[in-house]
A and B are shown apart, each in its own frame.
Chain A
Amino acid sequence: MTSKALISLLQAYGDDELVLGHRHSEWTGFAPHIEEDVAFSSIAQDEIGHATNYFLLLAQLTDDDPDRLALGRDASDYKHAVICERPNGDWAYTLARHWLYDIADDIRLDTLEGSADSTLAQLATKMRREERYHLIHADMWMKRVAHGPVEGRSRLEAGLSSAFAEATGLFEPIELEGEAVDEGWLPTPSSEMKSTFIERAGETLDALGLSTEVRANLDESAEFVASSSGDLIASQEGGGARPARSSGLGGRSGEHTADFDQLWAEMTKTYREHPGATW
């Protein structure tokens, strides 16, 4: 009988990769220049490849169909972090999110390399090798835009502020996290990983001279508005190009935003029209 906590872990992390990979792939044909279009499309494919790994393992453990797992669930059954479903916005937001996500993923994979499930541990090692390249790519871009012309740098600051606000949602505890840690599937709890993440991202932001601007943006532009659930959420900035500066929480229990409704409808359309089809 497979542990429910392990199932929860595989699904949450698989969903992160699938949803973010889908967003990354929306840049194909539209990236700043053609070589970057190929590079970023490759990165999108890698993320979906990682999602495939998670879902194949999950399918094995639950005797299910990996396609149904990936594409056949209702929107509220997806357990990815909210940041993954946000629209791409401008290249600066995309870069900021790519950079933050890949740091978070590296921290997560590091701990999964010590998972009690040996298949998952081996998978984590393999995925981490690809992630190393994603980090190099993100770091290179961050450095150049941060030290480049004013417009690029200020867009990056704004993108980082939006993304950083929600990135910590990647470390919202998964469902059954207590058991996942106790049973050894997740050697390091999310709260600890979150601290490592904030420290690591903060260090680079300091080194690039971006941290004060990012923090200033975080404080000054967030207008807090009560949502229907009673939580305080940040209101949408004008134009909708930038996502709302919310806490980024809720994803791990299936609470998503209107952004995910649109993404889910598109991503799962073909599967839902022909469930179980072979191609």
Chain B
Amino acid sequence: MDVYEVFKRSGHKDPFSHAGSVMAPDPEMALIMAKECFLRRREGEHLWVTRRSDIHSFSDESLLEIAADKSYRFPEAYRDVVVKREKARARANAIVAERDAS
């Protein structure tokens, strides 16, 4: 008997989300048990089951910490570039206008 994690989706355009777990001797039984336990009141229209041992994750969660400032990965950190670009464009247009006038 293994623990199987169960994922269900509410509608066929929705993503699968974790619903819970069942114990079963094999995948076929796990599907039937999951259907009974998580879909008996039509809470979803499809199911995935997977052995918990087939789900992998970080055992050392400290690896998931953001150690230093990574603002260079976010668009918000580049807002000043927009302002600088506008200023540069305005300066360039002014130079062109002055040249054409003379």
Contact = CB atoms under 8 A, between A and B. Distances in A.
Interface residues on B, range: 10 to 19
Given A38-B37, A38-B40, A42-B40, A33 B23 contact: yes
B32 A140 contact: yes
B47 interface: no
Main secondary structure of the interface of A (DSSP, over half): helix
Interface string A132-176: 000011001000100000000000000000000000000000000
A220 interface: no
A35 B28 contact: no
A137 B32 CA distance: 7
Given A35-B33, A42-B40, 16 more contacts: A33-B23, A35-B23, A35-B36, A35-B37, A36-B33, A38-B33, A38-B37, A39-B32, A39-B33, A39-B36, A42-B36, A136-B32, A137-B32, A140-B29, A144-B25, A144-B26
B36 A38 contact: yes
- Point out which of B24, B25, B28, B29 has the most chain A C-beta atoms below 10 A from its C-beta: B29
A103 to B, nearest CB: 18
A144 B33 CA distance: 15
A39 B24 CA distance: 13
Interface string A1-41: 00000000000000000000000000000000101101100
